[in-house]
Amino acid sequence: MKKYTYVLWDWNGTLIDDLQMNIDLENSMLHQRNLPPLPSKEFYLENFDFPILDFYYLIGYTFENESYEEVAEIYAAEYERRLETTSLFPDAKRVLYTLSKNGFTQVIISATEQNMLLSQVDRYGISGYFESVLGTDNKLGQSKVQTALSWLKQNGIDPKTAVFIGDTLHDLETARAIGCDCILTSRGHFSKKRLLTAGVPVADSLDEVLERLMKE
Q: What element of type H or E holds 132? A: strand 130-136
pLDDT in tens, 7-38: 999 999 999 999 999 999 999 999 999 999 99
51 in Cβ contact with 58 (< 8 Å): no
Integer-rounded Cα Rg, in Å, for the chain is: 17
* CA gap 146, 178 in Å, rounded: 9
pLDDT by position in tens, the chain (length 216): 578 999 999 999 999 999 999 999 999 999 999 999 999 999 999 999 988 899 999 999 999 999 999 999 999 999 999 998 999 999 999 999 999 999 999 999 998 888 999 999 999 999 999 999 999 875 444 568 888 898 999 999 999 999 999 999 999 999 999 999 999 999 999 999 999 999 999 999 999 999 999 987
Contact 112, 80 (CB under 8 A): no
Is 174 in contact with 150 (CB distance < 8 Å)? no
- Type of residue numbered 196: L
Question: How high is the pLDDT of residue 1?
Answer: 56
The residues pairing with 165 across neighbouring beta strands, listed in sequence order, are 9, 183
pLDDT computed for residue 141 by the predictor = 46
Contacts of 127 (CB under 8 A, 6+ apart): 118, 121, 133
